[in-house]
Amino acid sequence: MIYTIIDVETTGQTNKITEISIFKYDGDKIIDEFTSLVNPQSLIPDYITALTGINNSMLVNAPTFSEIANTIFSITENTVFVAHNVNFDYNIIRNEFKVLNIDFTRKKLCTVRLSRKLFPGFKSYSLGKLCKSLSIDIKDRHRAKGDAEATVILFKMLLDQENSEIVFNEFLTKVSKEATLPSHLPTSIFNNLPSIPGVYYFKNKKGKIIYVGKAKDIKKRVLSHFYSKTKKSLDMCRETHDIDFELSGSEFIALLMEDAAIKHNYPEYNLLSKRSPKSFAIFSYTDRNGIIHLAYNTVKAAPNPILVLFSINQCRAYLEQVCNTHELCPKYCHLQEGVSVCSHYKIKACKGICSSKEDYTSYNQRVLQAITELKNNSNNLIIKQNGRNNNENGFVVIKEGVYLGYGFIDKTEQIINMNDLEPYLIPQKDNADIQKIIRSKLVNSIN
């Protein structure tokens, strides 16, 4: 079997190649070599220059990738692509070929994952620290040729290990997880993931949560991230050193848990649902003339909320509907401000309270009726769900239209009313995203 052991240096965030080094290796000796600086046709950030020593002036007369693409394609053809953290180098090169409309596909081996298997027990498997532990001298660290030469020595040591043939064949199998998992993630962590509903947390080397997801099958969903070739997935997987999880019993509760975890942790790779929307409320008060007003404000500024919503537009739309249904005045429902007499273009049902044509007593009766209906429409619900095991049930509590949280309870417990669930409730915050999840669940249940 012939291998090409490869290292690339890049511009960093934009991942354009600035240098590439390839050693063609037959398992015994180097049979070919190609090393070149590469003009990325973009500027190199200062921090990359500080790390690699490669600066913009060095690349002015260097060939572009398109000018050396045929050489790279030819030297790697019918070989196994080998690199330390192989998915990084492989996908960088593959993307460069993709720009040229050339399909670049090679079998892969990762010396990080091979080292974890054949050299277990080291604290770190970064190239620098691993080589130091194995007494491999690296000349020109963070330059493509220096790192590639060190990887050749490391690769030969891996080939010489007992049972290496079995391990190599296992890693080269197309369906092998080892070829797919992030290089820094121990296989044991992935193997411990359950195939049931819950939320999962990708963590970086400092233990910080960088991504939160939910799934009906945690292990299957996590693996799908590692197969994805999007830039976001590749960057995220490259940073992943650990994966934690929590069981939910159902996908519905997993959705609620996921939203709460994203808003609490603000993971950098969760682009949606990071916001914590303001809550608004419809409330009532009586003015000095004895007229009952319906109004809206933020929940914090609304005394005794009748109904909680999650945007001013929702509040206005709801009050417009109430006005039409109960023939109320837009002025006293705060749909019009600074007017003496209402003239709302959508609502023509006002009986004249604003122009003294109607007595406030009869008007207030209709307002009170509207308030009663608003409160009655704010559902009190307990949504029963599967538990995390066969001995428990999950549940979600909605009181007066407000999501209070979820919980789990032993199937042997007797529940008479909502108050009996309180000791088992895991309190949560309500928000617009949660309301969408709940509304979708209720609509699907009806359908």
How many CB atoms neighbour CB 11 within 10 A?
A: 18
Cite the beta strand spans of 127-272 per DSSP E. 198-203, 209-215, 242-247
Q: Kindly report the backbone phi and psi dihedral angles of residue 168, in degrees, each rounded to the nearest multiple of 5, phi listed first.
A: -60, -45
Q: Do residues 104 and 97 make contact, with C-beta atoms less than 8 angstroms apart?
A: yes
How many Å separate Cα 144 from the centre of its chain? 32
Q: Residues in the chain, how many?
A: 447
Task: State the Cα–Cα distance between residues 75 and 295, nearest whole angstrom.
Answer: 74
Q: Give 208-222 as a DSSP string.
A: -EEEEEEESSHHHHH
The whole-number average pLDDT for the span 32-50 is 94
Q: Do residues 291 and 359 make contact, with C-beta atoms less than 8 angstroms apart?
A: no
149-153: long-range contacts, CB 8 A cutoff, minimum separation 24 = 149/21, 149/23, 151/5, 151/7, 151/82, 151/83, 151/84, 151/111, 151/127, 152/5, 152/23, 152/25, 152/30
72-88 pLDDT tens trace: 999 999 999 999 989 88
Closest CA to 262 of 23, 441, 433: 433
Residues carrying CATH 3.40.1440.10, the chain? 187-265
Q: What homologous superfamily is domain 3-178 in, according to CATH?
A: Ribonuclease H-like superfamily/Ribonuclease H (3.30.420.10)
| Residue 17 tokens, joined | 């190649």
Q: Give 312-366 as a DSSP string.
A: HHHHHHHHHHHHHHHT--TTTTTSS-S-SS---SS-----SGGGTSS-HHHHHHH
Closest CA to 368 of 321, 314, 326, 325: 326
Domain 187-265 sits in CATH at 3.40.1440.10
313-325 pLDDT tens trace: 888 988 999 999 9
pTM of the model: 0.61
Task: State the Cα–Cα distance between residues 48 and 220, nearest whole angstrom.
Answer: 36
- Looking only at the bridges linking them, the beta strands covering 107-110 and 17-25 are unpaired
> How many angstroms separate the Cα of 256 from the Cα of each of 261, 429, 437, 441?
9, 10, 8, 11
- Statement: residue 353 has pLDDT above 90: yes
pLDDT recorded at residue 435: 81
Least confident of 102-116, 292-306, 344-358, 372-386: 372-386
Residues carrying CATH 3.30.420.10, the chain? 3-178
Task: State the Cα–Cα distance between residues 150 and 141, nearest whole angstrom.
Answer: 9
**pLDDT band, residue 447 (cuts 50/70/90):** very low
